[in-house]
Structure 1
Amino acid sequence: MTTASTVPATSPDDATLVSRVRDGDVRAYEQLVLRYQGQMFRLASKMLADWTEAEDVVQEVFLNAWRRLHQLTDDAAFVGWLYRMTTNRCLNVIRARRPKVDVDLDTAESPRTDTRPEHAVQVSTQMAALTEALQELTPEQRACWLLREVHGLSYEEIGVIVAANATAVRGRIARARAHLSEVMKPWR
């Protein structure tokens, strides 16, 4: 999953860093955390719709990754392993909740800043509608949709993360897209 565009040419690849961590190099683990904490936080914050919970989840995931690094069988699979741990931890948090929560997808990173108030109101209203529609999905559908549409992962990568085959992942994403398409019709 690590590409040349995400890792500067002078930085060691994930496998090299993981190998160094196994040899006791704490700075190598710091590099891995710095490299992936933003991606894991964006995923957690969108799944949980709560920055504080997302921060807690990401911190817990990186702590568990440090403690369980010996369980990782392929050093190059580190980022996929992080996605899987983050997704699973978020799903557990969602399942443990009793009431629905109010989600604000626009809080992580807004792709655009527009100074026209009428446009800002429209975008805000659309984001609120999308947030509400995402909360109506099952946690598994939401996870698959976010991993595909927001994080750009392949069906196979998502399958590994959510412990499902690619066909099941495609089905979840298709159902999520159909629901979101229906709910978002007024905004087209």
Structure 2
Amino acid sequence: MDTEATDADLLARHVEGDPDAFGELVRRHRDRLWAVALRTLGDREEAADAVQDALVSAYRAAHTFRGQSAVTTWLHRITVNACLDRARKAASRKTSPVDDTERLEQLLEPHESASAPAERNDLHRQLLEALGTLPPDQRAALVLVDMQGYPVAEAARMLDVPTGTVKSRCARGRARLLPLLTHLRPESSGDSKEPAPGRNRAQGTSVPPAAGPRNTDPPDTGPSDSAAVKGGGGRA
């Protein structure tokens, strides 16, 4: 496979019948898709299933892509909506924390994170529980902007909502998290300043999903870009 080919080229080749093109596209983007899914859902199994659902949707709907956004934006949008769909369905279930040191502690100032392993594990648990209290839409916005470091405009394209909606969801999410996280800060620290959006871009992921969808049936007549995204999951 030509590693110099653009994402759009690979998607076009896939539509034309190239059996390797979609796998290369997945290889390029799976780590970031996995990171978004894991941080949005907080559960490895759910995240892997959401990414798999999204890849199957993208595989089948590739012929509907019209280039109105970057391929990576299109893939992230499908993945985020697949995550939101699963998050809404699992809203009444409590998920287990995962061992991810890049998690919500990044919403706090670096010096405020506990250093002792036992305290650190407890901090992770409380931070994950706090994130889990947010509505899925607010959680997704915070994950994209504050944790993945995407500009608000790009996050808006991924979520298929106006930039103002992303800003308001982030603001409401931060406001809801603040009282839940304040007790984790050292008593001697009087600084409750929030970090700047985009500062905490995660570097690296663990155990990414397989490099291709489970279902590799050839694509058939499908919906438009926006409709295909809906198929990947719920949307605002």
State the TM-score, normalized to the length of structure 1. Answer: 0.82
Task: List structure 1 runs of 4+ shifted beyond 3 angstroms.
Answer: none
- Which residue of structure 2 aligns with residue 180 of structure 1? 177
What is the aligned partner in structure 2 of residue 7 from structure 1? none
Unaligned runs of 5+ in 2: 103-113, 186-236
> CA shift at 1:68, angstroms?
0.4
Give percent identity, aligned residues only: 30
* Residue 23 of structure 1, CA deviation: 2.4
User: 2:101 pairs with 84, 106, 110, which one?
Assistant: 110
Deviation at 1:76, TM superposition (A): 6.2
Aligned to 1:169: 166
Equivalent-residue separation in structure 2 for 1:159 and 1:103 (angstroms): 29
Q: Which has the higher helix share?
A: 1
Name 1:65's counterpart in structure 2: 58
What does residue 33 of structure 1 align with?
A: 26
Q: TM-score, normalised by structure 2?
A: 0.66
Q: Secondary structure at the match of 1:68?
A: helix
Q: Is the 8 A contact 1:148 1:155 kept in 2?
A: yes
Given the alignment of the two structures, is residue 130 of structure 1 paired with residue 135 of structure 2, yes or no? Answer: no
Q: Cα offset for 1:18?
A: 1.8
Q: Which amino acid letter does the alignment assign opposite residue 46 of structure 2?
A: E
Higher relative contact order (CA 8 A, sep 6+): 2
Change (3 A) 1:154 1:103: farther
Structure 1 residue identity aligned to 2:92: P
> What is the deviation of 1:174?
1.0
TM-superposed deviation, 1:175: 1.3
Provide the aligned length of Structure 1 versus Structure 2.
Answer: 172
Amino acid of the structure 1 residue aligned with 2:28: R
Gaps of 5+ in 1: 1-9, 112-116
Call closer, same or farther: CA 1:42–1:16 in 2, change over 3 Å.
Answer: same
Per-residue deviation at 1:103?
Answer: 4.0
Structure 2 CA distance for partners of 1:118 and 1:155, relative to 1, 3 Å: closer
